[in-house]
């Protein structure tokens, strides 16, 4: 689930971007990046280790846990 971006987050991005350099594409790009970074941080630790993934891929498809 994507992380939410608050009004204060948007205002902070606007303050950080200089008025001379600000354009809509750059602004949206920063907001999207902020959302993706927060989503990634929220999901931290929810995955499986590489070793566990390798063990699962060694099993027949029907026996894999994530099916």
Task: Evaluate if pTM is beyond 0.85.
Answer: no
- Per-residue confidence (pLDDT) for residue 33, from 0 to 100: 92
Would you state the pLDDT for residue 2? 63
CA distance 37 to 35: 6
Enumerate residues 6+ apart whose C-beta is below 8 A from 60: none
Which pLDDT band, with edges at 50, 70 and 90, does 62 fall under?
confident
Q: What is the pLDDT of residues 15-52, one digit of tens each?
A: 888 777 778 898 999 999 999 988 888 888 777 888 88
């Amino acid at each position: 689930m994507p992380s939410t971006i608050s009004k204060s987050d948007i205002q902070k991005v606007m303050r950080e971007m200089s008025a001379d350099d600000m354009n809509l594409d750059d602004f949206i790009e920063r907001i999207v990046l902020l959302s993706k970074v927060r989503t990634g941080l929220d999901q931290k630790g929810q995955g499986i280790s590489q070793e566990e993934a390798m063990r699962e891929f060694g099993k027949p498809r029907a026996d894999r846990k994530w099916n």
